[in-house]
Amino acid sequence: MAETDLDALETAAATAAEEEQLDEENRLKPEFVRSVHEALEDKDDGRAYELVEPLHPADIADLFELLERDDRRALATAITDLMTGDVIAELNDYVREDMVEALPAAAVAEIAEQLDTDDAVQLIEDLDHEDQQAILAEMEPEDRAAIESALAYPEETAGRLMQRELVAVPEHLTVGDVIDFMREHDELPTEFWEIFIVDHKHHPIGTCALSWILRAPRHIQLADVMKRDQTLIPVTMDQEEVALRFQKYALISAAVVDENGRLVGQLTVDDIVHIISEEAGEDALLLSGAGEGDINEPIRDAYASRVRWLVANLLTASVSATIIYLFGGAIEQLVVLAALSPVVASIGGNAGTQTMAVSVRALAMNQLTRSNTRRILWREIRVALANGATIALLIGLAVALIFFSWLGAAVAIKLGVVIALAMVINILTAGFAGVAVPVMLDRLDQDPAVASSVFVTMITDSMGFLVFLSLAVASGLVG
Amino acid sequence: MAETDLDALETAAATAAEEEQLDEENRLKPEFVRSVHEALEDKDDGRAYELVEPLHPADIADLFELLERDDRRALATAITDLMTGDVIAELNDYVREDMVEALPAAAVAEIAEQLDTDDAVQLIEDLDHEDQQAILAEMEPEDRAAIESALAYPEETAGRLMQRELVAVPEHLTVGDVIDFMREHDELPTEFWEIFIVDHKHHPIGTCALSWILRAPRHIQLADVMKRDQTLIPVTMDQEEVALRFQKYALISAAVVDENGRLVGQLTVDDIVHIISEEAGEDALLLSGAGEGDINEPIRDAYASRVRWLVANLLTASVSATIIYLFGGAIEQLVVLAALSPVVASIGGNAGTQTMAVSVRALAMNQLTRSNTRRILWREIRVALANGATIALLIGLAVALIFFSWLGAAVAIKLGVVIALAMVINILTAGFAGVAVPVMLDRLDQDPAVASSVFVTMITDSMGFLVFLSLAVASGLVG
């Protein structure tokens, strides 16, 4: 009892300490980060250790990310025995890679051996082949074999992500047998949520949540409590697809099978939540042309991915510039056309971006399929009609009123009508392109989030200038 | 054994049937959706039932979303006994609301009673107060009380999302006691992954994963296998915050506590994955000004959220238009300025959007905090310098070459230098604004995803025109 009280006291102390370090949104406080930085500056490793010790591993990982690069390495040296697998697993990929590269191979191998296969793979998969080999050479043969076979699968597939550690039992056991089996075997994973039932060829035939086992009497047959209907993940399945299955079927864990249908590993939802978040969040970054958009990405990589996109936009912008240039005579006659045409292009671009964001998200979530494309296209066109009418009315009236006294009633009204009409046409075009472009890219097996923006923006920009300036000429505003 | 074989056969049959209905990306095939539509058109309820019966509940939910509105109601009538809680829980909010409104209160109450509290709340939370009351009146007092107390919490908080059903036991039990307790109690949740240990005031003091219980001998004290350090979720915590905690600490389930620290419910990760995906995905939609961006949202709502944003952009675009108008004299002298200035504005806009997407994502993931704002700002400025230099070189050379023979060497080169300089300045401005605007909005407790675009685009657009046209005048290109 005395021990328990002590434990409780320790927990209370830890919680109080945590509160000192975290703000109300669960982020490390800047003062705390600064005091760690100062301790490292002063080479006071003891003080740094004391500060970091009460933190949760996920917060230690956050601390590394918040510190400058030099501080990271100093901290890693100061708190070696707090650098557990949980900390490593939670680290940002770039930060981890940078730190792993700084450590001797033997030290990395030692860390890797504490980890589950999936985390160990993550630790070394981004390293050079040579560094990988050096680390693997330091590891126990069994661990090395597991990691090597995971590395044989392509990146971002189930084979890379899965844990090999799992509980698989034959169907003929009773609930009591299973419990005894689990009590006796020490090499089982530390945490698991379901067990898998396999036939004599090691093909999965069912799963059983631990709660069903715990609630059934010992004599009940496993076959009577297990669920036969289950989602099997092929070892080559892409992680995006895996994340969608976990979401759709609300899975906690799932069996991974090889090409012969044999059970080779399991995926658990705690590893998948990162991927769900990453895959859902990356669309905003891809749509904007920011590539991976990780703030820890080296500047060289960020430059490479972003500048490509800017150059593409430079090319599409030159299409618009050419159109404007062709209407140079009209602009010389009525210079206000130069001021108004970018408005038509810009609002069209915004309307296109809205529809495109909606379509890309719906495609990613498998909500927009061949079955309802026509309906969604029609829906977006109706939204565009309503938006176009509103904006056209506003800008038409505003233009007519503003230029009434400067240009005279006839010209001002004509200009208002021309810009209103151009706006409706461009917003409708935007609505159409915002669905059609992503859908077409998807059918061509391209990621719609990556390439849609370039096309949609080019369409709305050039249409905006072309329609507005053509209408101005056609209406006789300029000759 | 004969029965087991039969089960296996049935499973094989179901799997084969599923394969006929789903394409390789796990979406319902258009032909399948069409045959359900045709059965409903022919009023052949039997055929519709046959088609839908082999589907997983999540796929039945998808089917409803893919069908037209009239078909949805017809299908619901045709397959009443397949409309389980799992189907309802998986339905899109708008589709569910629409269907629930079409059903009589007693039927909704019957469905709600089969569901866990959290799913039942989801079923009725979006209805009018009157409709809610009519449904609650039809329910058993106990279920009604649970739903009413959940509805008393604000939307999108832990109190709304949590399940009241959980296993909580006192600390002094042994592992054997806990197993016996679970075997004897029928009213426990059907699936659970952890049990909660509480003190005599019902305050949670620890958790225990079921795998730890299963692997420990019966005589071991619960206190010796449980984990005292746990993440408690206050009942009023916002769902975005909840989703971040689940991700950060890789939680499978978590205890929800009221203001007195008493255990009142649990959250499980299978309910949270939807929120993680929603919260991560919504930034792309919010940044584009598409509001919720759900393809099932009524057109009226989609119009309302999008037009607001277009009007805001109309106002910011008029700032740019005014700037151009003020330089009307310069443009009349050298009409090519009208063609080139939108290019400067547009590339600046793109660069700003890239940086903004990165900052918004980093803010949402708690990666960008007061501790590293300055470092990230400096990082983005260096990326902007590299991007700006590249783009400036390209456009400067292109402009000088293109206009060499038309405008003469001196003017063409000057124009090239002017646009190159304007481009560098605007891309730098974009890099600065792309970090500063979201960070400032975040510090003012505004969602940076919602409002950043308007400001950043306004800054890059107006700066683009202003800098380019001013430099053109200052350089003596135009007088």
Residue among B92, B273, B353 minimizing CB distance to A288: B353
CB contact under 8 A, A386 and B303: yes
Give the pLDDT of residue A18: 59
Distance from CA of B140 to the nearest CA of A (A): 26
Taking CA–CA distances from B333, the nearest residue in chain A reads A332
CA distance B288 to B276: 20
Average pLDDT estimate for A220-234: 91
The residue ranking higher by pLDDT, B93 or B429, is B429
Q: Which residue of B has its CA nearest to A249?
A: B58
- At A409, is the pLDDT very low, low, confident or very high (cuts 50, 70, 90)? very high
**% of chain B surpassing 70 pLDDT:** 96
Q: Where are the beta strands (DSSP E) in B238-396?
A: 253-257, 263-268
**CB A166, CB A116: distance < 8 Å:** no
Q: What is the mean pLDDT of residues B172-185?
A: 90
Helix/strand/coil for B204: strand
Q: Which residues of A touch B163 (CB under 8 A)?
A: none
- B5-9 long-range contacts (CB < 8 A, ≥24 apart) are B7/A228, B8/A205, B8/A228
What are the C-alpha distances in Å from B431 to residues A290, A407, B316, B383, B424?
Answer: 12, 40, 19, 8, 11
* Amino acid found at B345: A
Angstroms from A136 CA to nearest CA on chain B: 27
Residues from chain A that touch B269, judged by Cβ atoms under 8 A, are: 252, 269-270, 273
Q: State the pLDDT at residue A124.
A: 86
HSE-CB at B12 with a 13 A cutoff on CA atoms is 6
Identity of the amino acid at B323: I
Residue of B215, B286, B297 to mutate, testing the A interface (most A Cβ within 10 Å of its Cβ): B215
| Residue entry with tokens 């001196």 | B410
Residue B2: pLDDT band (50, 70, 90) is very low
State the nearest Cα–Cα gap between A252 and chain B, in angstroms.
7
Q: Between B124 and B14, where is the model more confident?
A: B124
Residue B217: list chain A partners with CB under 8 A. 183
- Using a CB-CB distance cutoff of 8 angstroms, which residues of chain B are in contact with residue A217? 183
Give Cβ neighbours of residue B315 (< 8 Å, ≥ 6 apart).
Answer: none
Q: And the tokens for A15?
A: 């919680």
Mean pLDDT on A122-144:
88
Tokens 């900390």 label which residue? Answer: A87
Contacts of A324 in chain B (CB under 8 A): 338-339, 342
Quote the CA–CA distance of B98 and A326 in Å, as a whole number.
52
Counting runs of H as helices and runs of E as strands, what totals does chain B give? 24, 6
Written as six digits, the tokens of A205 are 């035939």
pLDDT band with cut points at 50, 70 and 90 for residue B438: very high
Q: Which of B439, B436, B438, B462 is nearest to B451 (CA)?
A: B438
A247:B277 CB<8 A: yes
Residue B461: CB partners within 8 Å, gap ≥ 6? A342, A346, B316, B317, B319, B320, B345, B348, B349
pLDDT of res. B11: 46
B149: closest CA of chain A, how far (Å): 26
Mean residue pLDDT across chain A: 90
Same fold, B168-287 and B299-474: no
Percentage of chain A beyond pLDDT 70 is 96
Q: State residue B17's pLDDT score.
A: 52
Q: Among A274, A358, A369, select the one facing B66 at the smallest CB separation.
A: A369
| pLDDT tens sequence across A47-73 | 999 999 999 999 999 999 999 988 998
Chain A residues near residue B244 by CB distance under 8 angstroms: 26
- For chain B, domain boundaries: 18-154, 168-287, 299-474
Is residue B439 within 8 Å of residue B456, measured between CB atoms? no
**B269: Cα separation from own chain's centroid:** 15
pLDDT in the model for residue A146 = 87
Q: Are residues A69 and A95 in contact, defined by beta-carbon separation less than 8 angstroms? A: no
Q: Residue type for B98, please?
A: D
> Which of the residues A55, A295, A367, A391 would you substitute to probe the B interface, choosing the one with the greatest number of B C-beta atoms within 10 Å?
A295
B-chain CB neighbours of A11 within 8 Å are: 228-229
Model pLDDT, residue B185: 83
Give which of A175, A273, A419 to mutate to test B binding, by max B Cβ within 10 Å. A273
Judged by DSSP in three states, A195 sits in strand
CA A248 to each of CA A242, B86, B116, B271: distance values in angstroms, whole numbers, following the listed order? 10, 11, 18, 11
pLDDT at B19: 64
* Nearest-CB residue to A338 (from B252, B290, B324): B324
Sign of CA dihedral A111, A112, A116, A122: positive
Strands ordered across the beta sheet of A263-268: A232-234, A253-257, A263-268
Query: In 3D, which of B272, B280, B240 has the Cα closest to residue B254?
Result: B272
Residue linked to tokens 């102390």: A13
Tokens standing for residue B133: 């009351």
B123 — pLDDT class (breaks 50, 70, 90): confident
- Answer whether residue B14 shows pLDDT above 80: no
Question: Taking 70 as the threshold, does the pLDDT of residue A21 lie above it?
Answer: yes
Neighbours of A186 (CB within 10 A): 6
B91 contact partners, CB below 8 Å, separation of at least 6: B61, B64, B65, B99
Q: Mean pLDDT, chain B, as a whole number?
A: 90
Q: Which residues of A212-225 are buried (b: 16+ CB within 10 A; e: fewer)?
A: bbbbbeeeeebbeb
Interface touch A66/B317, C-beta < 8 Å: no
A308: CB partners within 8 A, 6+ apart:
A289
How many residue pairs bridge chain A and chain B with CB atoms within 8 Å of each other?
Answer: 397
CB B109 within 8 A of CB B75: no
pLDDT score recorded for residue A17: 52
d(CA B433, CA B447): 16
Closest residue to B358, CB basis, from A189, A293, A328: A293
B239, B279 contact by CB (below 8 A): yes
Query: Fold for domain B299-474?
Result: Tetracycline Repressor; domain 2 (1.10.357)
**B3 band by pLDDT with thresholds 50, 70 and 90:** very low
Are A314 and B395 within 8 A, CB to CB?
A: yes
Residue A156: partners with Cβ closer than 8 Å, 6 or more residues away: A238, A239, A240
pLDDT by residue (tens digit) across B164-178?
889 999 999 999 999
Nearest chain A residue to B218 by CA distance is A183
For residue A215, give how far its alpha carbon lies from the nearest alpha carbon of chain B (Å). Answer: 4
B209–A361 C-beta distance less than 8 A: no
Nearest alpha carbon to residue B294 among B308, B306, B307: B306
Interchain proximity A342–B321, CB inside 8 Å: yes
CA atoms of B222 and B213, how far apart (whole Å)? 8
8 A C-beta contact, residue A305 and residue A291: yes
Cβ–Cβ gap A25/B366 under 8 Å: yes
Nearest CA in chain A to B270: A250
Q: What is the rounded distance in angstroms from the CA atom of residue A194 to the CA atom of residue A166?
A: 9
Per-residue pLDDT, B184: 87
Question: What ipTM did this prediction achieve?
Answer: 0.88
Choose among B358, B365, B368: nearest Cβ to A290.
Answer: B358
The residues that bridge with B267 in the sheet, in sequence order, are B254
Please indicate whether, in this complex, the C-beta atoms of B193 and A210 are within 8 angstroms of each other: yes
Residue-level pLDDT at B60: 94
The rounded distance, in Å, linking the Cα atoms of B319 and B331 is 17
CB contact under 8 A, A284 and B284: yes
- The whole-number pLDDT of residue B197 equals 95
pLDDT higher than threshold 80 for residue A258: yes
- With 90 as the cut, is the pLDDT of residue B77 above it? no
* Residue spans of alpha helices (H) in B53-140: 57-66, 69-78, 85-90, 93-102, 105-114, 117-124, 129-137
Q: What is the pLDDT of residue A164?
A: 87
Å between B75 CA and nearest CA of chain A: 16
List pLDDT tens digits, range A160-212: 999 888 999 999 999 999 999 988 887 777 788 999 999 999 999 999 999 99
Could you give the CA distance from residue B315 to residue B305 in angstroms, rounded to a whole number? 16
Span B224-235, mean pLDDT? 91
Q: What is the mean pLDDT of residues A246-260?
A: 93
Tokens of A296: 């820890």
CA-nearest residue to A285 within chain B is B357
Residue B141 CB neighbours (<10 A): 8
Verify whether the Cβ–Cβ distance A313 to B28 is below 8 Å: no
Span A412-440, mean pLDDT? 97
Task: Count the neighbouring beta carbons within 10 Å of the beta carbon of residue B215.
Answer: 22
Contacts B383 to A, Cβ<8 Å: 299, 302-303, 306
Residue type at A169 in one-letter notation: V
- For B15-53, what is each residue's pLDDT tens digit? 545 567 888 888 999 999 999 999 999 999 999 999 999
For residues B243 and B276, the answer to whether their CB atoms sit within 8 Å is yes
Report which of A179, A170, A167, A184 is spatially closest to residue A219, judged by C-alpha positions: A179
Q: Between A107 and A324, where is the model more confident?
A: A324
Considering the four listed CATH numbers 3.90.1150.10, 1.10.40.30, 3.40.50.300, 1.25.60.10, the one that applies to the domain covering A15-156 is: 1.25.60.10
**Domain made up of B18-154: CATH architecture:** Alpha Horseshoe (1.25)
The CA distance from B474 to the nearest CA of chain A, in Å, is: 20
Say which amino acid occupies A199: D
Which are the contacts of B29, defined by CB distance < 8 A and separation ≥ 6?
B20, B21, B22, B23
Q: Which residues of B touch A205 (CB under 8 A)?
A: 8
Q: Check if the beta carbon of residue B158 is closer than 8 Å to that of residue B197.
A: no
Question: Given the DSSP bridges, would you call strands B253-257 and B263-268 parallel, antiparallel or unpaired?
Answer: antiparallel
Sequence-separated contacts (24+) of A223-228 with Cβ below 8 Å: A223/A171, A223/A172, A223/A197, A223/B4, A225/A175, A226/A171, A226/A197, A228/B7, A228/B8, A228/B11
A422 vs B109, which has greater pLDDT? A422
Q: Is B47 helix (H, G, I), strand (E, B) or coil?
A: helix
Q: Which of B212, B248, B342 faces A342 most closely, judged by CB atoms? A: B342
Contact A83, A103 (CB under 8 A): no
Measured CA to CA in angstroms, residue A234 lies from A198, A209, A251, A418 at distances of 16, 21, 15, 58
Structure tokens at A411: 């010209």
Range ranked top by mean pLDDT from A238-242, A385-389, B85-89, B209-213:
A385-389
CA distance B414 to A275: 50
Query: Given pLDDT bands bounded at 50, 70 and 90, which one contains residue A419?
Result: very high
Pick the CATH number of B168-287 from 3.40.50.300, 3.40.190.290, 3.10.580.10, 3.30.300.30: 3.10.580.10
pLDDT in the model for residue A66: 94
pLDDT above 90 covers what percent of chain A?
67
Distance from CA of A133 to the nearest CA of B (A): 30
Determine the Cα–Cα distance for residues A90 and A184; give it in Å rounded to an integer: 31
Backbone angles phi, psi at B168, to 5 degrees: -125, 130
Q: What are phi and psi of B266, to 5 degrees?
A: -135, 155
Rounded mean pLDDT, B409-428: 96
Q: 3-state class of B201 per DSSP?
A: coil
- What residues of chain A lie within 8 A of the CB of B307, using their CB? 386-387, 390-391
Whether B161 has a pLDDT exceeding 80, the answer reads: yes
Taking an 8 Å cut-off on Cβ atoms, the answer to whether B357 and A56 are in contact is: no
